[in-house]
Structure 1
Amino acid sequence: MAEAHARAHGRGTQQEEQCAPGEAWTRVKSRLRGELGEDVYASWFRGVEIDNVAAGVIHLTVATRFLRNWLRTHYYDAVLRQARGEWPEADRVEFTVRQPHFTVEPPKENPVMRQASPHVVADRTALPMPLRTGYDGFEGSPLDPRLTFNSFVVGNTNKLAHAAAKQVALSSANPQSPFNPLFVHGNVGLGKTHLLHAMAWEVTRQKPEAEVLYLTAERFMSGFVQALRARDALAFKEKLRNIDILLIDDMEFLQGPTIQQEFCHTLNSLIDGGRQVVVAADRAPTHLDKLDMRMRSRLGGGLVAEIKAMDYDLRHKILEKRAAEACAETDGLEVSDTVLAFLAERLTESGRELEGAVHRLRASYQLTDEPVTIAVAEQIVRDLMRGAEPRRVRIDDILRTVSKHYGVNRGDLLSGRRNRSIVRPRQIGMYLAKLLTSRSLPEIGRRFGNRDHTTVLHAIRKIEQLMSDDTQLREEIELLKRLLRD
């Protein structure tokens, strides 16, 4: 009886493990965050996913080979130890690189056929043609089928605007939207147009019969001027006032008192009638000096969401997603996380700049068949880089950069701790100090925790020896050198 109960209990335990490995893995990651610290967790574990647990093996998936190798080398023991808190019988962990997965979900249109280059996967599904929104014979600006919510990368600097845009799109059937008008503002290339296109696609998908009109300010002005010339301005205004959702891009370019007055009337009519209005501009409504006070007040009366400059994490996520898409479309193309980290550190202006860098890397590979290394990446995107002359490297810069890259505290680098996870970054820091500064070995030793010059010499020789056999280490150090010099 007891044995039967034990067997039943064992089966129940196995079923629970099989049913909810994701929940158990979430608890494991929470414990890893507590053990390793927020910086290390954010750098290496946030994107690690669990596949399954079978025969004592915990199968985890990661986005890149670089990340797989790094976790195997540096955090295998920590992962296995914490995972055994959920799966006591586990005896090992397997890290594998998952296949890139991404989708585009605009409404279906006729696919565009094109000849694939030798490096392009032949059976890739082509994107539909751009769609023009319109209503009652009035033609709007074209919608890009790539610009959907699925392809928008969310980070700390754009999450409010993204959440608001998605809420508006999902509430398209509700005549009393809580965010009307929705005003999105931010500098060029941060994703305003992407969100407007994504909203138009989503509303069309949710409610195919909805009357959706997406216009640039220039297109609105052009349409109104043509209507005036044709003495059809009244019909023009009535058409606009009967649509379900109006999306206006580049509002800062709306000029002329007559056009502004008519747009203000249209805006009031739509909002008062329960129709949704979304506006994007490069600055907040109160700073649009060319608009009259009434319009600025009405535009600021709903939700105003700013998209701020991208931080490093968001830039890296965008590059990672675009590189995964490029690699999935291009046979043999590989872009290492080291290259992505280098680009994310140096390209800071806009998402278009990041996407342009990935397009160039892909084109270079297709034309030359050369692997994408940091040297190749730097040469290709040199004109996108900001800053001219290389700056003078200081040991403080090296300590800060190495600490950030390897997720260790500066105090640990200077301490007497002998953990491998600290010794190796410390040795790399000493090697870089000798290579990039004019400091003597004794001076370097003093700056790295009052160490003897023989310790510094040993570290330099050790790193040189490892670099001769380890391609990944050579790439890492090349990345650090460029980050420090630029």
Structure 2
Amino acid sequence: MKDGVGLVEWQDGSGTQADGGLESAWAAIRAGLRRDIGARMFDQWLKPVALGNHCPESQTLDLLVASDFSANFVSGQFGDRLRMAWRNAGAGVRDVRLRRAPESTGPRLLEVLHVEPAAPATSAAPVAIASNFQPRHDFATFITGESNRLACSAAQAMGALAEPRFSPLFIHGSTGQGKTHLLHAIAAAFSAHSPAAPVLYMSAERFMMEFVNAMRANDTMAFKARLRAARLLLIDDIQFISGKGSTQEEFLHTINDLIDSGARIVVTADRPPQRLESIDARILSRLAGGLVADILPADLDLRLAILEAKRVVAGDPPVPDAVIDFLARSIRSNVRELEGAFNKLVAYGQLTGRAIDLDFAQGMLADAVRANARRITVDEIQKACAAHFKIDPSEMRSKRRARAVARPRQVAMYLAKKMTPRSLPEIGRIFGGRDHSTVIHAVRTIEQLRESNPDMDADVRALLRQLEG
């Protein structure tokens, strides 16, 4: 292994494997090319080239690259220079052919990935694909619920070995709901089965910055070539590309070329395509032509599941159920903030030796809870329950005792006790001047029914999601 390039151990019957003499000659040729064309161009296009088969009779040597695009580009830009260098090396090579390496047995790393944050190019061997993405952001650690199931399923299909039935995939949702997590998970899954296929991940801002820098340096050819060589392109926060005319034009050409070549494209944004402002209509049409999947704010069930998954691996000190429930009901803005609140409690407990209980959690997270607070009123609860059970809202305050109206009224009392700071007597008065003991009876009845009747439990969960969302 010299300068990150090793002998490729495969044959297709067209010749013999390259030998040690060829490898020595290739090392010298590479050094000369890097000096002649500059480190940047060399590292981008010629450093990943590896030796393939050599036919002594025709004196033809195969040089292997990651993709057909790379083969065409290197052949067109450097083919004559490579032939001349090999002829002058005296290694029995008169001609060279640029070919795409078989993915199953070819060199594991053929492209240096430009992944944000990008590391400066060096003469060291390329970095393994997996190291460019956060290992904790894989599909195994992405907790799914009703609010994100479609987006997760679509992301898994995009990262799978089988060709997806759609491309591009457009994932949208508000900040901190897991969009970037899914991008990293797609990259990791795709690279696991296609390690030689180039993967490119960048934010829209990074895309604009690199394109502008390339134009200023009169080096747009390399920028465009690198984008179009990707077999998986991941663009985060596409909304920030708004209003940049030349950048949008280049982005449009890039996604058109990649789609036509069968590459996979995943784009994220904070809103659906039709609500993106100042973006070229042709781009919006392309993005909406694949699959559009949303990630809604996590409901209570999903927030509980996320916290439970974190509790399993958190270790000591233990986090009791009451604290988990408090966090799930109090931190509703986004998943990132929810996980941050949990991490803060556990870290403080580990550093101080303090047991984590409800009083401790409420004190530590008072500011976060206030920021997330949304005053749910009893009136909102009554209207939601009336609509859910299809009764007139006035029945919430009526004296009728028929089960068709009494049960929804009890559910509303139960939710009012759970979701508002109102006292029992206050709740009773709002429900038509009832006594506080009536409210207590309603709360106990619904609690028992939730345990014994799955339909009632489903109704209450649906109302909780609606009101908290």
TM-score by shorter chain over 0.5: yes
Deviation at 1:368, TM superposition (A): 2.2
Matched, 1:154 2:144: yes
Match of 1:279 in 2: 267
Letter in 2 for 1:345: R
Distance 1:293 1:394 in 2: 45
Letter in 1 for 2:297: A
Match of 2:81 in 1: none
Could you list the per-position Cα deviations for residues 21-72 of structure 1 after superposition, in whole angstroms to 9, with x for gaps in the alignment? xxxxxxxxxxxxxxxxxxxxxxxxxxxxxxxxxxxxxxxxxxxxxxxxxxxx
Match of 1:245 in 2: 232
Instruction: Tell whether the 8 Å contact from 1:393 to 1:436 is kept in structure 2 after alignment.
Output: no
Match of 2:223 in 1: 236
Distance 2:373 2:310 in 1: 29
Instruction: Tell whether the 8 Å contact from 2:428 to 2:436 is kept in structure 1 after alignment.
Output: no
Task: For residue 366 of structure 1, give the secondary structure of its aligned residue in structure 2.
Answer: helix
Could you list the per-position Cα deviations for residues 98-149 of structure 1 after superposition, in whole angstroms to 9, with x for gaps in the alignment? xxxxxxxxxxxxxxxxxxxxxxxxxxxxxxxxxxxx9855622152221110
Deviation at 1:287, TM superposition (A): 1.2
Match of 1:269 in 2: 257
Distance 1:394 1:155 in 2: 27
Letter in 2 for 1:140: V
Could you list the per-position Cα deviations for residues 163-217 of structure 1 after superposition, in whole angstroms to 9, with x for gaps in the alignment? 000011114x53xx31200000011111110100100011111221221111111
Q: 1:352 aligns with which of 301, 318, 336?
A: 336
Match of 1:293 in 2: 281
Q: 1:381 aligns with which of 359, 362, 365?
A: 365
Distance 2:305 2:175 in 1: 19
Distance 1:282 1:396 in 2: 28
Deviation at 1:390, TM superposition (A): 10
Distance 1:273 1:390 in 2: 49
Letter in 1 for 2:349: Y
Match of 2:205 in 1: 218
Distance 1:434 1:283 in 2: 40
Could you list the per-position Cα deviations for residues 290-325 of structure 1 after superposition, in whole angstroms to 9, with x for gaps in the alignment? 211100111110000011111110111111111222
Match of 2:292 in 1: 304
Distance 2:305 2:327 in 1: 11
**Taking structure 1 as reference, are residues 379 and 293 closer, same or farther at Cα in structure 2, changes over 3 Å only?**
same
Matched, 1:167 2:157: yes
Distance 1:189 1:293 in 2: 27
Match of 2:170 in 1: 183
Match of 1:333 in 2: 317
Letter in 2 for 1:354: L
Distance 1:414 1:135 in 2: 66
Instruction: Tell whether the 8 Å contact from 1:413 to 1:448 is kept in structure 2 after alignment.
Output: no
Which runs of structure 2 are paired with 1:68-79 in the superposition (5 Å)? none
Task: For residue 253 of structure 2, give the secondary structure of its aligned residue in structure 1.
Answer: helix
Match of 1:145 in 2: 135
Gapped regions of structure 1 (runs ≥ 5): 1-133, 401-408, 416-424, 460-486
Match of 2:74 in 1: none
Distance 1:266 1:135 in 2: 21
Instruction: Tell whether the 8 Å contact from 2:427 to 2:439 is kept in structure 1 after alignment.
Output: no
Distance 1:152 1:318 in 2: 9
Distance 2:409 2:239 in 1: 52
Deviation at 1:448, TM superposition (A): 3.1
Larger-Rg structure: 2
Distance 2:137 2:231 in 1: 21
Matched, 1:343 2:333: no
Distance 2:142 2:276 in 1: 27
Q: 2:355 aligns with which of 371, 374, 392?
A: 371
Distance 2:365 2:178 in 1: 21
Distance 1:389 1:298 in 2: 39
Letter in 2 for 1:360: K
Match of 1:446 in 2: 435
Letter in 2 for 1:141: E
The TM-score normalised by the length of structure 2 is 0.55
Instruction: Tell whether the 8 Å contact from 1:136 to 1:239 is kept in structure 2 after alignment.
Output: no
Match of 1:45 in 2: none
Letter in 2 for 1:272: D
Instruction: Tell whether the 8 Å contact from 1:395 to 1:447 is kept in structure 2 after alignment.
Output: no
**Taking structure 1 as reference, are residues 363 and 253 closer, same or farther at Cα in structure 2, changes over 3 Å only?**
same
Deviation at 1:411, TM superposition (A): 6.3
How high is the sequence identity, in percent, across the aligned residues? Answer: 39
Gapped regions of structure 2 (runs ≥ 5): 1-108, 118-132, 385-403, 445-469
Deviation at 1:389, TM superposition (A): 8.9
Letter in 2 for 1:348: R
Instruction: Tell whether the 8 Å contact from 1:237 to 1:266 is kept in structure 2 after alignment.
Output: yes
**Taking structure 1 as reference, are residues 299 and 349 closer, same or farther at Cα in structure 2, changes over 3 Å only?**
same
Distance 2:309 2:233 in 1: 30
Distance 2:227 2:376 in 1: 59
Instruction: Tell whether the 8 Å contact from 2:167 to 2:265 is kept in structure 1 after alignment.
Output: yes
Instruction: Tell whether the 8 Å contact from 2:425 to 2:436 is kept in structure 1 after alignment.
Output: no
| Bigger mean CA offset, 221-230 vs 311-320 | 221-230
Instruction: Tell whether the 8 Å contact from 2:428 to 2:439 is kept in structure 1 after alignment.
Output: no
Deviation at 1:446, TM superposition (A): 3.5
Which runs of structure 2 are paired with 1:376-455 in the superposition (5 Å)? 376-386=360-370, 446-449=435-438
Instruction: Tell whether the 8 Å contact from 1:161 to 1:306 is kept in structure 2 after alignment.
Output: yes
Deviation at 1:438, TM superposition (A): 10
The TM-score normalised by the length of structure 1 is 0.53
